[in-house]
Amino acid sequence: MSSEAFGVAAVAVWMAIWWITEAIPIPATALLPIALFPTLNIMSAGDACHPYADHIIFLFLGGFLIAIAMEKWNLHRRLALRTIWLIGIGPSRIILGFMLATAFLSMWISNTATAMMMIPIAMAIIRQTTDYLKSTNSEIDTEPTRFRFATALMLGIAYSASIGGVVTIIGTPPNTILVSFVERLYHQQISFAAWMAIGAPMAVIMLFITWIYLVKFAMVPRVKKLVGGEETVRSEIQQLGKMNRAQLSVMLVFIVVAVAWISRGFIISEGQLMHDSTIAIMGALLLFIIPADFKKREFLLDWDSARRVPWDVILLFGGGLSLAKGFSESCLASWIGQQIYGLEGTSLMMLVIAVISLTIFLTEITSNTATSAMLLPIVGSVAVGMAIHPFGLMIGAAMAASYAFMLPVATPPNAIIFGSGHVTIPQMARVGFVLNIIGIILITLTVIYLVPLVWDIDLYHLPEWIPAAR
């Protein structure tokens, strides 16, 4: 191992320890490569800083700005309520409605914001149902944490926020980190449409399995009729009124951007310089340009609102990308791959299961973004060292980072739901453990069977572009 590779390994271990223990704020840890790589003679300050302005970061920045505009004009709330209304108001159906609405929104806006928006609506329905059951002297226990309908509804919101985020590249940070690492380490692009082709089928199946498990096995709602549910949802929709010009404009920009992301690979010929990040920033700029009320000089998006961009996540991306660049340029990635003699002969499926399991249970105790930034360069190097396609292990790890369902600290939606008072840690751990196991199985099947089929790749052999990348 060269001195540069040893230095990168030391920085990686340092960052991993601080990310796991949160000795200092997680985004602050992400700045270590800027301070240490030039100091340790690994790369210049300019090279260490460059990944913090990678075009993938601007893809996420554009996505954040579009999401902020949707929240500013209450468009996300309107979409959620309409979805719930369409699905139905029965106990099990309303849980499904909340889960579908939450999953759809978390494809485009942050899982945290989605969960926080859904909670007040869910709490209003729970409160009305509880009051009705108490007034009729029902035998159903409506005490918080013992009211199964409320617990199932809250868990459904938390879990569907994480599940929905897997569908798109911008849905959750691990997806974006994977795409950026693949481009930085191997000079390969994963398009928005290509990712959705594997993320959407898995998320749909996982969402319905989660719903069935919640309402039929884990937390069967004993409530036969949801009194007040219909009135609550109708009242919320009526309070929003008709869609105004600003909401229609934001909706139009969102649809155009989403269609452009999905269709870019089919419309733009190879060799063109446009990227998904170009589309994201175009959409964000339109929001600053299009007026909501021209007379008042009010626009769809203003800079005061834009300041709500989660810069901590942006810095975390940059730190992960800079670390990945260190792995590549110091040849640490190649060195790790060369040390994997003990794994020769291990089946790909067993490797994928091991990586997915490690990622899921590690994410239970640390940030999924930090987990992805730590593991992805390593599992990619392991795959190359074993002469197998790196996408298998890397996609498995990225998807698994969003499938931690057991503990409140695992994801922000889990923590938000726990704070509602309707879910205990033992309840979340018991239900979440089963879903973790289901997630391991489903992600493994997706990686082993769906990815090669949809992307037309051979996971069992190194692709032709690996030698050039190395």
Task: Please give the mean pLDDT across all residues of the chain.
Answer: 86
Q: 178: closest CA among 22, 400, 367, 464?
A: 400
Question: What average pLDDT does range 288-309 have in this prediction?
Answer: 89
pLDDT at 363: 86
Mean pLDDT, rounded, for 196-205: 97
Per-residue pLDDT of 246-295, as tens digits, reads: 999 998 998 898 888 878 766 665 556 777 788 889 999 999 999 988 88
Is the pLDDT reported for residue 470 higher than 50? no
Q: What is the DSSP string of 361-414?
A: HHHTTS-HHHHHHHHHHHHHHHHHHTTS-HHHHHHHHHHHTT---S-TTT-HHH
- The residues facing 293 across adjacent strands are 298
Higher-scoring residue by pLDDT: 57, 190: 190
The CA distance from 171 to 166, in Å, is 6
Distance from first CA to last CA of the chain, Å, rounded? Answer: 16
Higher pLDDT, 167 or 370: 167
Scanning 290-388, the segments in alpha helix (DSSP H) are 303-306, 311-329, 332-338, 348-363, 368-385
Q: Which of 109-123, 132-146, 199-213, 240-254 has the lowest mean pLDDT?
A: 132-146
Instruction: For residue 415, give every residue at least 6 positions away whose Cβ sits within 8 Å of its Cβ, in sequence order, or none.
Output: 408, 409
**In the predicted model, is pLDDT for residue 150 greater than 70?**
yes
Question: What does the pLDDT read at residue 338?
Answer: 65
Give percent of the chain with pLDDT exceeding 70: 92
Q: Does residue 236 carry a pLDDT above 60? A: yes
90 three-state secondary structure: coil
Name beta bridge partners: 291: 299
**Mean pLDDT lowest among 121-125, 197-201, 338-342, 414-418:** 338-342
Residue 127 — pLDDT band, cuts 50, 70, 90? confident
The predicted pLDDT at position 124 comes to: 78
* CA distance to 61, 64, 221, per residue, from 308 (Å): 11, 9, 38
Distance, in Å, from the CA atom of 210 to the CA atom of 202, rounded to the nearest integer, reads: 12
Looking at residue 469, what is its pLDDT?
46
CA separation for the pair 352, 441 (Å, rounded): 10
Question: Which of 127-131's residues contact partners 24+ apart within 8 Å by CB, and which partners?
Answer: 128/227, 128/228, 128/229, 128/231, 128/232, 129/223, 129/226, 129/227, 129/228, 129/229, 131/228
List pLDDT tens digits, range 351-367. 999 999 999 988 887 77
Dihedral pair phi/psi, residue 261, rounded to 5°: -60, -50
Cα gap 231→197, rounded to integer Å? 38
Does 344 have pLDDT greater than 80? no
**Mean pLDDT computed over 165-171:** 92
In this predicted model, what pLDDT tens digit does every residue of 313-337 receive, in sequence order? 788 878 888 887 887 788 776 676 6
The SS3 assignment for 291 reads strand
Which of 53-67, 84-98, 332-346 shows the lowest mean pLDDT across its residues? 332-346
Which pLDDT score, from 0 to 100, does residue 267 have?
66
> pLDDT at residue 7 above 50?
yes
Question: What's the average model confidence in pLDDT over 37-59?
Answer: 89
The single residue listed with the structure tokens 């940070």 is: 173
pTM of the model: 0.80
What's the average model confidence in pLDDT over 405-427? 87
Note the pLDDT of residue 468: 46
Can you tell me the distance from the alpha carbon of 355 to that of 72, in angstroms, rounded to the nearest whole number? 39
| Domain spans, the chain | 51-316+325-469
Averaged pLDDT, 129-146: 75
86 vs 6, more confident = 6
